[in-house]
A = this chain, B = another copy of it.
Amino acid sequence: MRQLCMPQGLAADEMPKLESLICTARAVRRGEAVYRIGDPFESLYAVRSGSLKTVMAHRGGREQVTGLRLAGEALGLDGISEDRHACSAIALEDSSVCIIPYGALKTMCREVSAMQERLHRLMSEQLIRESAQMMVLGSLSADERVAAFLLDISERNAQRGYSSAEFNLRMTREDMGSYLGMTLETVSRTLSRLQKRGLIDTQGKFIRIVDIEGLRQI
């Protein structure tokens, strides 16, 4: 469990130092925020269990889901730039996050180069992830967006040792639509269409991928 809070890539003799990152856990109930837009930035977070969405707002109040974080993924990097959070992180189900004080982490990154490396990679990975999502939003049709989304979740589940074929999407159709740049009705229609084509099987938020190759082909 402790591994979740900045795992992999650390040599054995560096572990004691890792311990100094007093990495306390925090429970968040569904709908609750780990942090909100404008909150002062103090810590990064690692999702320990559950899942969260990140939400940004336009001037004018319109909100959009900009990200989805599953167990094992990092949260809060947006706060570093301006010392306050640029988005809100809302739990999609009762979840638990690991609190990683940024000050301590910085110190550790200066002492342990593997940790520095790991943090850099984490940020770079997220940059790529967001670029990929920009491509989804910028050049895919509704069908393609939904298929790409399901495949992304599937892959991330697989990486974390869960089933890549079936999962419970905790977000609403509206959240999905917001993340994918379409209306909740179009999301619903698209899922129905994919089901009729025999590519997936949906029961509300529970989704099973029947023909993963077919999904990729879209």
Contacts and interface: CB of A to CB of B under 8 A. Distances in A.
Interface of A: 54, 56, 58, 62, 64, 66-67, 77-82, 86-87, 106, 109-111, 113, 116-117, 120-121, 123-128, 130-135, 137-139, 178-181
B124 A124 contact: no
Q: How many copies are assembled? A: 2
B81 A121 contact: yes
Contacts of A135: 56, 58, 64, 66
A79 B124 contact: yes
A125 B20 CA distance: 28
Contacts of A127: 77-78, 81, 123, 126-127, 130
29 contacts: A56-B131, A56-B132, A64-B134, A66-B131, A67-B131, A77-B124, A77-B127, A78-B127, A78-B128, A78-B131, A80-B120, A80-B123, A80-B124, A86-B128, A86-B131, A87-B131, A106-B113, A109-B116, A110-B111, A127-B127, A127-B130, A134-B134, A137-B137, A137-B138, A138-B178, A138-B179, A138-B180, A138-B181, A139-B181
